[in-house]
Amino acid sequence: MHLKLGEVSAVVVSSSEIAKDVLKVHDPTFADRPESIAGEILWYNSTTISFSQYGDYWRQMRKICILELLSAKNVKSFGSIREDEVSKLVQSIRGGSSQGPINLTEKIFGMTSSITCRAAFGKICRDKNALIEMFKEGITLVSGFDVSDLYPSSKVLKIMSWNRLKLLRMRRKLDLILDDIIDEHNHNLARNGRDVDSTRRGNGEFGNEDLVDVLLRVQGSGELEFPITNDNVKAVIYDIFAAGTETSSTTIDWIMAELIRNPRVMAKVQAEIRETIKESKSIENDVQNIKYLKMVIKEGLRLHAPVPLIPRVSREDTEIEGYHIPARTKVLVNAWAMGRDPEYWPNPESFEPERFENNTTDFTGNNFEFIPFGAGRRMCPGMTFGLASVELPLAHLLYHFDWKLPDGMSPNDLDMGERPAITAARRQDLHLVAIPHDANKDQDENKHH
C-alpha cells in the first residue's frame, strides 16, 4: 500500500514475501531509518543504535552493543538483578493482594525499568523515578505526529514545531541527569584505578561493569574508528532504556491479558510451571526447561509484536516485485498483520500456543511471517536481554499467584485495543485480582497421590 504524507512517500508492506525482499534480499538498500524532529533533539541527532542512519558509525555502535553491552554473557551476569527485582514484584503483589484489584501494568513497568536501570547504571541512579518519567514522556512525544516531519524541506515548520519546545525542555532535563551519571561513573573508575587493592572493575552492583562503564571504557580505549562523544554515550543509554523497558513490560502485559481471556491456556501453563519448579530454589535456573511457557511467549509475540510497524527508509532507487521505489521512501513493514496472516496461521486471532509445538518457526529473523524483533542487519540487538526480562517475571507471576478479573467483569469486557505509539501497548492498564498460591499445598497433595 502506497501513502503520500506531505512530502514523504510511504509504503506499507503486509506480505511476508515482500518483507523478505525488503529486510533480507535488498537489506542494505532499506537499511536507513526515518528522520524526525524528535530523533534529532531527544536522541542526540539520531545517534542511538536503533535510529542512527546506516553507515560506519551505526556499524561500530551495533558491534559494541552485540559484543560488549548485550552479549549473552553480559545478559546472564544481570541474572541476580532480574531475580531480585522479580522477587520485589512478587512481594509487592503479595502485600497488596488482600486490598482488591492491583494495577499489574504499572507494577510490571516499574519492575522492567528497575532491571534496566540497575543493569545500565549500577548503583548510580539517584534520579531513577525522574528518568523513568522522562523516558515514558519521551516515548509518547516520539510516537506523536509532527507536521515538520512530513515537510522535511521546510525550515520554518521545523522552527515553529509545537513539539520542539517540549523536546528541547526535556532534552535539557535529560542532559542534567545523564551528565551527572557519567561524571560519577568516571570519578569512581578513576578512584578504583588508583586503588591497587580494589577488586572492583566498575560501578556495577557486584563490582563488575555496568553498561555505562562498558561505553566509557570503549570510549577511552583509543581503538575506535569513530571516537564516541558523551552525547553518543547518552544516546545509547536512552536507546537501551527505552527499548529494554517498554517492549518487555508491554509483552508481559499483553500475555497476562491473553491468559485471563483463555483460562485453558492459563491452567496449562501454570500446571507446567508449578510441576517443573516443585522444590527447586531458583526459577531462573529452571525457566529454560518450561517448554509450554516458551510457546505462550511466542504466541504473545505473534499476536502483539512489540513494534508493530518496523520503519525503514530506502537509500537509493530500487524495484520490489515490479514496483519502483524511489530513494528516501519510508517503508513500514507491518509485523502485526503478518503475525495474523491466515495463510501461515490457522485461526490467526485465537491465542493457541500449541501451534508452536511441532513448528520450527522462530523469531530470529528467518521466518518473515513472524518477526517481532525485526530481521536483517537492523534486527533488534537486545533480543536476549528482552526475552530474559519477559520469561522470568512471567514464570514468577504464574507460579506464585492465581489470577482473576475484578468482580463483575468477564473476559469479554477486557479492552484489547492498542495505544497508538512506536510500541503498541494495551490501551488500558490491566487491573487484576491476585490470589497467592500455596506451594506447600501442592506438595501435600503430591504426597497423598
Predicted local distance difference test score (pLDDT) of residue 73: 85
- Rounded mean pLDDT, 415-423: 82
The percentage of the chain sitting over the pLDDT mark of 70, rounded to a whole number, equals 88
Q: Which of 301, 295, 253, 305 is nearest to 273 (CA)?
A: 295
Predicted local distance difference test score (pLDDT) of residue 143: 64
- Rounded mean pLDDT, 343-349: 96
Report the range of poorest mean pLDDT among 363-367, 398-402, 430-434.
363-367
Q: Is the pLDDT of residue 257 over 90?
A: yes
User: What phi and psi values does residue 266 have, to the nearest 5 degrees?
Assistant: -55, -50
The C-alpha cell that represents 371 in the structure block? 518477526
- Mean pLDDT taken over the chain: 87
- Rounded mean pLDDT, 289-304: 95
- Rounded mean pLDDT, 217-229: 89
- Rounded mean pLDDT, 414-438: 89
The percentage of the chain sitting over the pLDDT mark of 90, rounded to a whole number, equals 53
The C-alpha cell that represents 82 in the structure block? 532480574
Has domain 31-307+339-448 been given CATH number 1.10.630.10?
yes
- Tell me how many degrees the CA angle 76-78-82 measures, rounded to the nearest 5: 110
Predicted local distance difference test score (pLDDT) of residue 229: 94
Q: Is the pLDDT of residue 198 over 60?
A: no
Q: Is the pLDDT of residue 4 over 70?
A: no
Q: Is the pLDDT of residue 433 over 60?
A: yes
- Rounded mean pLDDT, 183-211: 78
Domain positions in the chain are 31-307+339-448
- Tell me how many degrees the CA angle 65-71-73 measures, rounded to the nearest 5: 150
Q: Is the pLDDT of residue 134 over 90?
A: no
Q: Is the pLDDT of residue 208 over 60?
A: yes
Q: What is the pLDDT of residues 137-178, one digit of tens each?
A: 877 777 666 665 665 666 666 666 668 888 899 999 999 999
Q: Which of 250-264, 286-300, 323-337, 372-386 has the highest mean pLDDT?
A: 250-264
Scanning 262-307, the segments in alpha helix (DSSP H) are: 263-277, 283-286, 291-303
pTM for this one?
0.91
Predicted local distance difference test score (pLDDT) of residue 449: 47
Report whether 380 belongs to an annotated binding site.
yes
| Cα–Cα separations (whole angstroms), residue 18 to 3, 29, 246, 331 | 17, 14, 28, 11
Q: Is the pLDDT of residue 444 over 90?
A: no
Q: Which of 42-46, 263-267, 382-386, 444-448 has the highest mean pLDDT?
A: 263-267
- Rounded mean pLDDT, 398-406: 96
- Rounded mean pLDDT, 339-348: 96
Contact 363, 301 (CB under 8 A): yes
Locate cell 492465581: which residue?
A: 402
